[in-house]
Amino acid sequence: MSVGLDGVIAAETALSHVDGEAGTLILKGLPLDAAATLDFEGVCALLWDGLLDTQDDLRARLAAARQQAFDRVARMLPAADGLTTVEGLRLMLSGLADETDLDPPVQVTGAVPVFVAALDRHRRGLQPIEPNPDLGQSADFLAMLAGETADPAIVVGLDTYLVTVADHGLNASTFAARVVASTRAGMVSSVVAALCALKGPLHGGAPGPVLDMLDAIGGEDRIDTWLDETLKQGDRLMGFGHRVYKVRDPRADVLKRAVARLKGDRIAFAEKVEQAAIAHLARHKPGRRLETNVEFYTALLLDRIGLDRSLFTPVFAIGRVAGWAAHVMEQEATGRLIRPQSRYVGPTPQQAA
Ligand code: ACO
């Protein structure tokens, strides 16, 4: 038996391929470096090609989906009081119907940034801002969040992030989406399941804690002591280690370059922490091959974009929903019910009697 389904092939996909030994990621035949030059609508078009009935007017249709989601926001926001932003997103997505007059992937993908922006403004005591159909998804998200048009360089930085994380093989959240899709429960139900899996700190919940770690280390003189003590206590270093990558996660480099283009001021310090962390991990966990994962430079990039760390996991969902939606369509088109078996290790009736 493979604990954690390590190495088990549980689906065939034409969407993305992760080579954990070579440290490469391919999205629909495009190497990550090439895909990362697309904007968010571009990666949706790439991933949804051949799965969605029509790709026509995708930008306008996503804008229409944002407007339709916004029309529900005022009604739903009060119910999110007291929840974190990602919990509020889970609540608001659950309120969408699986059957819709919009294409289901378009509906859910357009809704996520609207809900996240509204929830964040609500947390800050501010009114939600209507989407602008003239903007692309990234620019509109930033405008709905801040109430003003974002610097184009910042929009490109966000696009790079969203595209880089849009799809990544059969990660935990995508697998959750495919399991639910395999029961024919529908797009929204599948995406809600995926979001629930993404939320955990071992998956999409890590980038906020990466910044907490950099803050806790504080200065260069404390790097080695802090890392050593943390590992001695048995704690994990956020932003390091990966189930599939046994070398550096290629997304880390794409995101690091994006932070550098935006002249992020913490890069030099982060690089020192990264180098020291890899060395300490090799010493404390020999043979485990723990390297930098996507979340380390995600934290720096999203921070440089000006996002509060409570938004990091929800913003991950804004990008990854493109991949979830594609996997749901692929599963619905080709897949059987996903129903593995467990090995019983409990008592026999005779033992229990
Ligand atoms: N810091 C310290 N030790 C670690 C780390 C880490 N970041 N990652 C793994 N280890 C250790 C484990 O403690 C374990 O040690 P042991 O064999 O002595 O018990 C060994 O390495 C193997 O760990 P597993 O949990 O079996 O490895 P798995 O493949 O399940 O873990 C995971 C992958 C969950 C990402 C892990 O590396 C981790 O917890 N990293 C920190 C959290 C993080 O960065 N999450 C984001 C992942 S990227 C993404 O999902 C988008």
Which is catalytic among the residues 291, 295, 327, 330? Answer: 295
9 assigned to some structural domain: no
252 assigned to some structural domain: yes
CA of 333 to the centre of ligand 1 (A): 34
CA of 241 to the centre of ligand 1 (A): 5
Mark whether 126 and 92 lie in a shared domain: yes
Residue-wise pLDDT tens digits, 258-278: 999 998 778 899 999 999 999
CA–CA gap between residue 21 and residue 246 (Å, rounded): 6
Mark whether 115 and 258 lie in a shared domain: no
Across the chain, the runs of DSSP E, i.e. the strands, are 16-19, 24-27, 30-31
Residue 120, pLDDT above cutoff 90: yes
Nearest atom of ligand 1 to the alpha carbon of 293: 48
**CATH number assigned to the domain comprising residue 212:** 1.10.230.10
105 assigned to some structural domain: yes
* Mutation to probe ligand 1, out of 202, 243, 244 (largest number of atoms < 8 A from CB): 202
Residue-wise pLDDT tens digits, 157-204: 999 999 999 999 999 999 999 999 999 999 999 999 999 999 998 889
Ligand 1 site residues, Cβ closer than 6 angstroms: 4, 202-204, 206, 236-243, 281, 285, 288, 290, 293-295
For this structure, is 295 an active site residue? yes
What's the confidence (pLDDT) of residue 100?
Answer: 83
Domain limits for position 272: 207-304
Mark whether 277 and 329 lie in a shared domain: no
How far is C-alpha 332 from the chain's CA centre? 22
Mark whether 270 and 316 lie in a shared domain: no
Mark whether 48 and 192 lie in a shared domain: yes
What's the confidence (pLDDT) of residue 139?
Answer: 98
- Burial pattern 118-154, b for ≥16 Cβ within 10 A else e, equals bbbbbbeeeebbebeeebbbbbbbbbbbbeeebeeeb
Residues in a beta bridge with 27:
16, 30
Mark whether 118 and 227 lie in a shared domain: no
Which is catalytic among the residues 122, 168, 242, 280? Answer: 242
Mark whether 123 and 272 lie in a shared domain: no
272 assigned to some structural domain: yes
Mark whether 239 and 261 lie in a shared domain: yes
What's the confidence (pLDDT) of residue 265?
Answer: 75
